Amino acid sequence: MSNFDAKMAQYIKLTEENLSKYNDHTESNAPQKELIDAMNYSLEAGGKRVRPALVYAFCEALGGSLTSAIAPACAIEMIHTFSLIHDDLPAMDNDDFRRGKPSCHKKFGEAMAILAGDALSVLPYEIIADSPDLTADQKVLIISVLANSVGRDGMIGGQVIDMLNEERSDVTEEELRNMYRCKTGQLIAVSCVMGAICADASRETLRSAAEYGLRLGLAFQIIDDILDVTSTQEELGKPIGSDERENKTTFVTLFGLEKAIELADKATSEALEWLDSVEDNAFLKELTEKLLRRKN
Amino acid sequence: MSNFDAKMAQYIKLTEENLSKYNDHTESNAPQKELIDAMNYSLEAGGKRVRPALVYAFCEALGGSLTSAIAPACAIEMIHTFSLIHDDLPAMDNDDFRRGKPSCHKKFGEAMAILAGDALSVLPYEIIADSPDLTADQKVLIISVLANSVGRDGMIGGQVIDMLNEERSDVTEEELRNMYRCKTGQLIAVSCVMGAICADASRETLRSAAEYGLRLGLAFQIIDDILDVTSTQEELGKPIGSDERENKTTFVTLFGLEKAIELADKATSEALEWLDSVEDNAFLKELTEKLLRRKN
């Protein structure tokens, strides 16, 4: 196994082990056991665990202790999972499957899925506030930047913009970039920033981490647009061509495939430049390049 | 105006003014303006503002500065509002009206209501973390107790238990008390505790505040059960008799009306006893008694 793969495997293991611990229930006969089952069902559904890996990688690259990054790494994965559960709801994207398994509301019913998402959106603040491995100042700063990236001016605001854009055929490049920045970019950026906070990085380094994350998030989203056209259902794990069927504005519909690939390259190069100020950046560089070349 | 009414009016004004400030949007042309409108629509729908009043009252009674209580007071009202928005959804209680106005999803659509609830569940942690009037240690403790009372072992867990109980006809007194404690009691208790934290109260006083709040929450909920039988639609602002129609187990169905009134009295008396250790408790005593005698 390469150094990169070993490190990634370590980060994933640390994330998954601690997600289970945080959402364990000592009283196994608690009447709300089904809620905890629904939360765990979606947490365990897998995915690339890119966001927690970024928290760990920034913390380590800047000389922080990996242990201190556990709470924010699990927090960001809980928030990502909460957003997927609510996104899949009938009133939202109405998706019956997620990563090849029935989506949370298909498995547990709509009411339970709403509440499982709600519970996963709250638990992050509790585990960060209760972490024995962070100072009070670190916790306050992490919670401030995290809640800001999730809320009305971040991910949730981005979902609203995405929803409103679906009814329009005249979405501009600037509007699309703003939507991607809110919906995807900020949560990826805050993963990097939280890792840097765990390492007590300077304000300047926090800014580099955020700028890197925003560009990585943009590249990530453009590649999603590209894969929807170029991939196969088998590789992607979900039906392809859905953007075209839903008349969505994407980087591919705005610019064509070739230019979209160019723009994903450009965003990736810019992301890499922001890594220059990060000391031990080998893992992060490889991760950035791997995400550009991903097939799903 | 009595001292009590003047104080209550002050607390309500402080809450409503700051809720507007916290959810203002400087860029009035933000594309997610509709989300902010939906959040404000439900925040402004009114209600008794009991929870923020408890935050302010405990803070003041224990010698804290009112300003420090603004963020947690608005936070708890946001969380209460988020829970009402999600409760009213078609997949949950399917209520078209809330306090005489169309519920959030009737006004803004189901997807927007889900997202408005989500955004109101996150903003509290941001405003507490960003408050200029609390120390880092106060913020961390407030966020820890708040998130714990909201999540799977608090309000959200209680909603799940409530939902599961609806399918059963053999709910016991102990199960009902546990459900009320989770669903209503913990959020009322944490309001008191947060006020006490703002005043830097001792651990012992924090416990008294929590014990008071749990009993007040129980009394509050038993009185809800009673009003559903004894009130009129005009007084209550919503249809009466809904518990019976929905075959819900309540204190009235378990014990009959007379005994339920007795138990509400008992919970109120017990709540009042826990106020003995609170220095300046006149407002809190009057509030407790007023809530016992409320008609809606």
C-alpha span between A272 and A284 (Å, rounded): 9
Check CB contact of B249 with chain A, cutoff 8 Å: no
In DSSP notation, A207-249 reads HHHHHHHHHHHHHHHHHHHHHHHHS-HHHHSS-S-HHHHTT--
pLDDT at A27 over 70: no
Question: What pLDDT is attached to residue A235?
Answer: 78
pLDDT at A236 over 80: no
Rg (Cα) of chain A, in Å, rounded?
A: 19
What confidence tens digit (pLDDT) does each residue in A88-120 have? Answer: 999 999 999 888 899 999 999 999 999 999 999
In the three-class reduction of DSSP (H, G, I as helix; E, B as strand; rest coil), residue B28 is classed as coil
Mutation target vs A (from B125, B177, B193; most A CBs, 10 A cutoff): B125
Total domain count for chain A? 1
pLDDT at A264 over 80: yes
Give domain status of residue A28, yes or no.
no
User: Please, what's the largest Cα pairwise distance for chain B?
Assistant: 56
Q: Each residue of B193-220: b (16+ CB within 10 Å) or e?
A: bbbbbbbebeeebbebbbbbbbbbbbbb
Residue A245 tokens read as 């069927």
C-alpha span between B177 and B161 (Å, rounded): 11
CB spacing of B143 vs A148 below 8 angstroms:
no
What confidence tens digit (pLDDT) does each residue in A154-187 have? Answer: 999 999 999 999 888 899 999 999 999 999 999 9
Report which DSSP code applies to B98: E
Question: What pLDDT is attached to residue B153?
Answer: 92
**Taking CA atoms, what residue in A is nearest to B125?**
A147
CB spacing of A130 vs B144 below 8 angstroms:
yes
User: Please, what's the largest Cα pairwise distance for chain A?
Assistant: 56
Instruction: Compute the nearest-CA separation of A4 from chain B (Å).
Output: 35
C-alpha span between B3 and A91 (Å, rounded): 48
Residue A200's region, left for phi above 0, alpha for psi from -120 to 50, else beta, is left
Chain B residues 116-145 within an 8 A CB cutoff of chain A: 117-119, 121-123, 125-126, 128-130, 136-137, 139-141, 143-144
pLDDT at B230 over 80: yes
Least confident piece of the model among A78-92, A280-294, B240-254, B257-271? B240-254
Mutation target vs B (from A83, A122, A131, A174; most B CBs, 10 A cutoff): A122
**Taking CA atoms, what residue in B is nearest to A93?**
B111
pLDDT at B51 over 80: yes
Q: What is the mean pLDDT of residues B189-218?
A: 98
Q: What is the mean pLDDT of residues A4-21?
A: 96
Question: What pLDDT is attached to residue A92?
Answer: 94
CB spacing of B157 vs A130 below 8 angstroms:
no
C-alpha span between B39 and B78 (Å, rounded): 9
Residue B144 tokens read as 């820890």
Q: What is the mean pLDDT of residues B52-65?
A: 98
Check CB contact of B110 with chain A, cutoff 8 Å: yes
The whole-chain average pLDDT of chain A stands at 94
Question: What pLDDT is attached to residue B28?
Answer: 56
Range of the domain at B39: 3-23+32-292
Question: What pLDDT is attached to residue B27?
Answer: 60
Instruction: Compute the nearest-CA separation of B284 from chain A (Å).
Output: 29
What confidence tens digit (pLDDT) does each residue in B82-137 have? Answer: 999 999 999 999 999 888 899 999 999 999 999 999 999 999 999 999 999 999 99
Mutation target vs B (from A108, A121, A139; most B CBs, 10 A cutoff): A121
Q: pLDDT category, A31, cuts 50, 70, 90?
A: confident
Residue B80 tokens read as 């209460």
Residue among A49, A45, A71 nearest A59 (CA): A71
Q: The CATH number of the domain where A202 resides is what?
A: 1.10.600.10
Give domain status of residue A201, yes or no.
yes
Question: What pLDDT is attached to residue B29?
Answer: 66
pLDDT at A232 over 90: no
C-alpha span between B83 and A205 (Å, rounded): 38
The whole-chain average pLDDT of chain B stands at 94
Q: Which of A34, A90, A151 sits opposite B126 (nearest CB)?
A: A151
CB spacing of A122 vs B121 below 8 angstroms:
yes
Give domain status of residue A27, yes or no.
no
CB spacing of B117 vs A119 below 8 angstroms:
no
**Taking CA atoms, what residue in B is nearest to A157?**
B32
Least confident piece of the model among A213-217, A277-281, B204-208, B250-254? A277-281
Q: Is residue A236 packed enough to be buried (19+ CB in 10 Å), middle (13-18) or exposed (0-12)?
A: middle
Contacts of B179 in chain A (CB under 8 A): 31
Check CB contact of A86 with chain B, cutoff 8 Å: yes
Find out whether A77 and A25 touch, Cβ atoms under 8 Å. Answer: no
Question: What pLDDT is attached to residue A26?
Answer: 60
Q: Is residue B2 packed enough to be buried (19+ CB in 10 Å), middle (13-18) or exposed (0-12)?
A: exposed
CB spacing of B140 vs A136 below 8 angstroms:
yes
Report how far apart, in Å, the C-alpha atoms of A59 and of each of A197, A283, A286, B121 are. 8, 12, 16, 28
Residue among A123, A7, A15 nearest A73 (CA): A15
Q: Is residue A293 packed enough to be buried (19+ CB in 10 Å), middle (13-18) or exposed (0-12)?
A: exposed
Determine how many CB atoms are found less than 10 A away from the CB of residue A280.
11
Report which DSSP code applies to A91: T
Contacts of B26 in chain A (CB under 8 A): none
In DSSP notation, B71-82 reads HHHHHHHHHHHH
Chain B residues 2-41 within an 8 A CB cutoff of chain A: 23, 30-32, 34-36, 39
pLDDT at A28 over 60: no
Three-point CA angle B158, A91, A32, nearest 5°: 20
Residue among B166, B191, B262, B192 nearest B223 (CA): B262
Cα dihedral sign, A202-A207-A213-A216 = negative
Determine how many CB atoms are found less than 10 A away from the CB of residue B15.
23
What confidence tens digit (pLDDT) does each residue in B127-171 have? Answer: 999 999 999 999 999 999 999 999 999 999 999 999 999 889 899
pLDDT at A146 over 80: yes
Report which DSSP code applies to B141: H
What confidence tens digit (pLDDT) does each residue in A195-217 have? Answer: 999 999 999 999 999 999 999 99
Q: pLDDT category, B241, cuts 50, 70, 90?
A: confident
Question: What pLDDT is attached to residue B164?
Answer: 93
Helix A70-88 / helix A3-22 crossing angle, nearest 10 deg: 70
